[in-house]
Amino acid sequence: MSCFLLAVGIAVGVGFVFHHVVVKGRRCTSETMLHGKTAIVTGSNTGIGKTTAIDLAKRGARVILACRSVQRGEIALAEVMRESGSNNVVFMQLDLGSLRSVRSFAETFLKIEPRLDLLINNAGIYLQGKTEDNLGMMFGVNHIGHFLLTNLLLERLKECGPSRVVSVASVGHNVGSIDFGCLNAHKALGTGTSFFPVVKIYCDSKLCNVLFTYELAKRLQGTDVTCYCLHPGAINSELARNANTVFAAVLKLIRGFFFKNTVQGAQTTLHCALQEGLEPYSGRYFSNCSVRDVYSKAKDGDTAKKLWELSERLSGLV
């Protein structure tokens, strides 16, 4: 009996340490205030996007909630204003699955907002299908929509420098790959619809985020704009709301203990957006509020350049 109790005690202790050290992770320690600054946070009606928006608003920033759903966006607007105590928060509709919507958002923003200091490319989707422009859904929303948005707003970011672009990627990029044959033939990262192929396509889209950041940093050299991408951790959020019932059921069983809450999950985003002295790390990948090395495929210059040029064509920039 004593051995059993000892084993239980050890298991509980290990679990406690795992949850509080590994799951919770580090916190952003920056005390930077943002009065007079403007930030856009995509997908900020829920999850870590909304939490990020609340934190930036608390610091005095003018925060633009860029969300697809008008109803959900307006509800989030009221919540962000209430939680942050700031009235300097605005909702603007943005559907990253529609190049028309991205262009309309950018055009409207540039007309009515004189500044842009932070662009947080937070929105992400886990859903197979096609966008309005016949792109693969996860490729179109997770990469192309943000690619176009960033490029359309780059001049304003340069004018307001020092400014930053922060893109939420995932550790899943490590198992991702870019199939240019599939992209050229189907405008998608993959065509499978069963569980594992769909997970792989999501990871491929996250590799696109990392490669985009790597190439963007090269193109921003000599400007006052820097860029970073990150893994936020496994988050107890709504990302998998479109997942099949088996995947959703598995997540429900484990996420309460093994997943971060949205405050914990927003910390690396905030670190990349706010931490002083990160400029030498432009183009790098962060996790747990620390810069991390990536596999060679995630910093392959030829692949990053090829993806950029393909993205320019598919988004209509060239």
Catalytic annotation, residues: 202
Residue 223, by phi and psi: left (phi above 0), alpha (psi -120 to 50) or beta? beta
- The long-range contacts involving 293-297, CB below 8 angstroms and separated by at least 24 positions, are 294/173, 294/174, 294/210, 295/174, 297/177, 297/207
Burial class of residue 24 in the structure, from the number of CB atoms within 10 Å of its CB (0-12 exposed, 13-18 middle, 19+ buried):
middle
Residue 233, by phi and psi: left (phi above 0), alpha (psi -120 to 50) or beta? left
Which DSSP category does 174 fall into? G
The CA radius of gyration of the chain, in Å to the nearest whole number, is: 20
Residue of 116, 144, 123 lying closest to 56 (CA atoms): 116
Handedness of CA 84, 89, 92, 95 (dihedral sign): negative
Residue 287 corresponds to which amino acid?
Answer: S
